[in-house]
Amino acid sequence: MKGYLLLSEGTKFEGEIVSESPIQCEGEVVFYTGMTGYQEVLTDPSYKDQIIVFTYPLIGNYGINEVDFESKQPQVKGVVVLQATEQYSHYLAKHSLKEYLEKWGIPLLTNVDTRQVVKTIRELGTQKAVITTEESAEVNKIFATNQVENVVENKVETFGDGPKHIALIHFGYKKSIASSLVKRGCKVTVVPFWQMETIKKMNPDGIVLSNGPGDPKSLEPYLQNIHELITTYPTLGICLGHQLIALAFGANTKKLRYGHRGANHPVIDHQTGRVFMTSQNHSFVVDEQSLAQLPLNVRFTNVNDQSIEGVVHQHLPILSVQFHPEANPGPVESGVIFDEYLEVLNTVGREKVYA
């Protein structure tokens, strides 16, 4: 049936809703530039309440399998593509993209000029939108602020049994973060962010602050607890976790015009001079000017727009990255961040700190 993507500033894009029954959804419209990895994107908690526009013209060609989920269910509000095929080819696939989204009641809008949608978002900035079967509909321009609370389950889970114990603070973590640490010989205990005061009783070797959706400032009530933890244990922050580390030290964050979402973002490591490709998904960044009087040094920078991609503490073993070193989907080059963190974790008692 005929469907529409209506943006809050008034632009309308026509397509076809692939569904057995009329469905309407509302969310923040964003775009993802990667050629693969749609299953991981759909289930990444950082995409909570968002309508995702895939720029690659053919989505769904390798289907949906049972192993590449980043969370237990899709987190997006809606999906917009040029073409979604139902004929998948991968030997592990169990469902088509359409079948998977329909199971969860998520609208799939196809035959849309996604190039023009992206141009519009880049020109006018990220905004609210609706997918609907009606040619006109009112779009609420107010963004949700409590996405983190909606993606975190109220339970503590432990994975792996390695000699190093990592407390992973759950703000909407991706499964691949935990599995990347387990693969490197760690025991990982996932702790909901509102239970972070229990971490000291666990006596972990280190902590990791996970990714998650929304504005980092919505978590301001937890910054004092975060500061106490990260100044006590060797720390790695990823995406939202990176922003929360900066805020905990008194820095500021700001929202990008249309965010970074894709698997092809070049980042320079100022410590080594190396440039590598990264997987990213975020709307907010740390304001570099706000770091002027703080004990945090910029370690990584985005080559395209010079935004901050990671910081290190001047004296304490604290490292943060805006990109995703677990890289699912995306290039695996930045996985060395986990190796560096664990190296520091293993030697911190011998005065090893981040350069």
Rounded to whole angstroms, how far apart are CA atoms 335 and 338? Answer: 6
Is 39 contained in some domain?
A: yes
Task: Say yes or no: 249 and 110 in one domain.
Answer: no
CATH code at 178? Answer: 3.40.50.880
Q: At residue 163, does pLDDT exceed 70?
A: yes
46-52: average pLDDT: 96
pLDDT at 325 over 80: yes
Based on the fold, state whether residues 168 and 315 are members of the same structural domain: yes
Question: In the chain, what percentage of residues exceed pLDDT 70?
Answer: 97
- The reported pLDDT for the residue numbered 46 is 97
128 & 28 share domain: yes
Cβ neighbours, 10 Å, residue 217: 15
Q: Is residue 231 part of a domain?
A: yes
Per-residue pLDDT at 350 exceeds 50: no
Residue where a domain stops, chosen among 80, 105, 132: 132
Q: Provide the domain count of the chain.
A: 2
Provide the sign of the torsion angle of the four alpha carbons 147, 53, 43, 165, taken in this order.
negative
Lowest mean pLDDT among 5-14, 20-29, 163-172, 184-193: 20-29
Same domain? For 89 and 158 the reply is: no
The per-residue pLDDT for 20 is 72
Domain that holds residue 67: 2-132
pLDDT per position as a tens digit, 114-127 = 999 999 999 999 99
pLDDT in tens, 282-311: 999 999 999 999 999 999 999 999 999 999
Same domain, 187 and 105: no
Domain CATH for 16: 3.50.30.20
Average pLDDT in the chain:
94
For the whole model, what pTM was predicted? Answer: 0.96
- 194 shares a domain with 115: no
- 327 band by pLDDT with thresholds 50, 70 and 90: confident
Q: What percent of the chain has pLDDT over 90?
A: 89
**Is the domain of 303 the same as that of 187?**
yes
Active site residues: 239, 324, 326
The verdict on residue 225 lying in a domain is: yes
269 & 183 share domain: yes
Beta strands 164-170; 186-192: pairing state? parallel
Domain boundary among 105, 132, 159: 132
In terms of domains, do 156 and 8 share one? no
User: Does 114 share its domain with 256?
Assistant: no
Picking from 107, 132, 157, the residue at the C-terminal end of a domain is 132
Mean pLDDT of 228-257: 98
As given in the structure block, the two tokens for residue 273 are 């001079």
Report yes or no on 246 lying in a domain: yes
Per the CB < 8 A criterion, the answer to whether 3 and 131 are in contact is yes
Going by the DSSP 8-state scheme, the letter that residue 242 receives in this structure is: H
Per-residue confidence band for 352, with pLDDT thresholds at 50, 70 and 90? very low
- Same-domain check for residues 120 and 172: no
Angle 295-297-300 from CA coordinates, rounded to 5°: 155
Confirm whether 140 is domain-assigned: no
Q: What pLDDT is recorded for position 262?
A: 95
For the segment 129-145, what is each residue's pLDDT rounded down to a tens digit?
A: 999 999 888 888 888 77
Residue 214 lies in a domain: yes
Torsion (CA) 211, 213, 299, 263 in degrees, nearest 10: 90
If asked whether residues 105 and 205 sit together in one domain, one would say no
For 66-90, what is each residue's pLDDT tens digit? 999 999 999 999 999 999 999 998 9
**Given this model, what pLDDT does residue 330 score?**
85
Q: Is the pLDDT of residue 21 over 70?
A: no
With b meaning 16 or more CB within 10 Å and e meaning fewer, what string describes 237-256? bbbbbbbbbbbbbebebeee
